[in-house]
Amino acid sequence: MLIATRHAPPFVILDDGEFTGIAIALMRRISEGWGVEIRFIEMGLSEMLDAVAAGTVGAAVGALTITAERERILDFTHPFYTTGIGVAVPVRETMTWITALRRVASEPFLTSLAALLGLLTLLGALVWAVERRRNEQFPAAPIRGIGAGLWWSAVTMTTVGYGDKAPITLVGRLIALVWMFASIIVISGFTAAIASSLTVGALDESIGSVEDLYGTRVVSIEGSTSSLYLTDKLIRHHTVTDAEAALQELVAGRADAVVHDAPILRYLVQEQYVGRLRVLPFLLTRQDYGIALPRQTAQREEINVRILETIHTPEWERLVEGYLGRDGV
């Protein structure tokens, strides 16, 4: 008998042509009492459901969520695993003196600092050029004179007001007047750059509920219940082919959150992205995984009994724990 499935770790894992995983182990356990030989065939999600509805395969197994829409065209067994839609986000650093210094030394901050220093030097050179012939506070020698102008422009910008240097010509005072007002804007922007360098990435996750996903760059999996959930909630998002590709979007900085089945996200993060990604400790909505069967399948009740017997055994708990840890049991 053909059984449709698709790669969805840890429920279905395809490695070198061999299928393993939680759902595969369950299907093999069921087939032992079924008395038939089964063969797994890989299909896309929509293909799996269409094949079951058409009766070209005996069943479809994997991380298949039981929904009303799907139940209209095929049958499902009892749920063998209950979970929900989760959210994966990048890991945020805890702010320490070391991370603060690292952020201050970051390229964006140093670029802002260099631009500010250039602006101060330009203003200083301009005032020196105007004042050098009539004002002893700005020596005629270029190095000393521009240095004095730089000192004056910095003191004026920060409103310290030492008063040791000040323009005395009309043009010099007009430049000073314009710089006094302009420096308010400049110092505000520079302060914002410092604050941004210290706080961006240092805050804990900003997603605490579904409402926080609005206006966030969200990615999900094409044709999945998580994508349908986001569409139903009118949350803008883009889709990719599978969960691995979605998490790659997150790692590359092209997304702020991945919304998909929580156990799949936890497994992939644990296997590939420890320390870089995390799955938030809440679910957006509940999901029940079941085995999809064609309508009027004669063995449905027998399969249900076999599922219920299996999922309440210590062996099943150890199997699930082996893939998902204690939190997944």
> Residue holding tokens 């759902």?
23
CB 195 within 8 A of CB 189: no
SS3 content of the chain, % helix, strand, coil (to 5): 50, 15, 35
Which tens digit of pLDDT belongs to each residue from 38-47? 999 999 989 9
pLDDT digits over 161-213, tens only? 677 888 888 998 898 889 888 888 888 877 776 666 555 444 444 688 889 89
**Non-local CB neighbours of 44 within 8 Å, separated by 6+ positions:** 6, 223
pLDDT at 295: 93
Beta pairing class for 218-221 and 257-261: parallel
Residue 82: both structure tokens together: 């209950």
List helix spans (H) across 14-44. 22-34
Alpha helix stretches (DSSP H) within the chain: 22-34, 45-54, 68-71, 97-104, 107-131, 142-157, 170-199, 225-232, 243-251, 262-272, 300-311, 314-324
Percent of the chain with pLDDT over 70: 89
Q: How many residues does the chain have?
A: 329
Query: For position 96, what pLDDT does the model report?
Result: 56
Q: Are 91 and 54 a contacting pair, CB within 8 Å?
A: no
Burial class of residue 28 in the structure, from the number of CB atoms within 10 Å of its CB (0-12 exposed, 13-18 middle, 19+ buried)? middle
Q: Please give the Cα distance from 286 to 288 (Å, whole number).
A: 7
Residues of the chain with pLDDT below 70 are: 93-106, 108, 161, 193-206, 326-329
Which CA distances in Å does 105 have to 98, 187, 198? 11, 19, 10
Residue 258 forms beta bridges with which residues? 88, 219
Residue 204: other Cβ atoms inside 10 A: 9
Token pair listed for 28: 């093999």
- Among candidate residues 38, 35, 48, the one with its CA nearest the CA of residue 8: 48
Q: Residue 190: left if φ>0, alpha if ψ -120 to 50, beta else—which one?
A: alpha
pLDDT on residue 159: 78
Query: 120-150 pLDDT, tens per residue?
Result: 899 889 999 999 888 888 888 988 989 988 8
Closest CA to 127 of 99, 152, 90, 157: 152
pLDDT at 327: 62
Using DSSP bridges, classify how beta strands 81-90 and 257-261 pair: parallel, antiparallel or unpaired: antiparallel
Tokens (6 digits) for 293:
């069967």
CA distance 195 to 197: 5
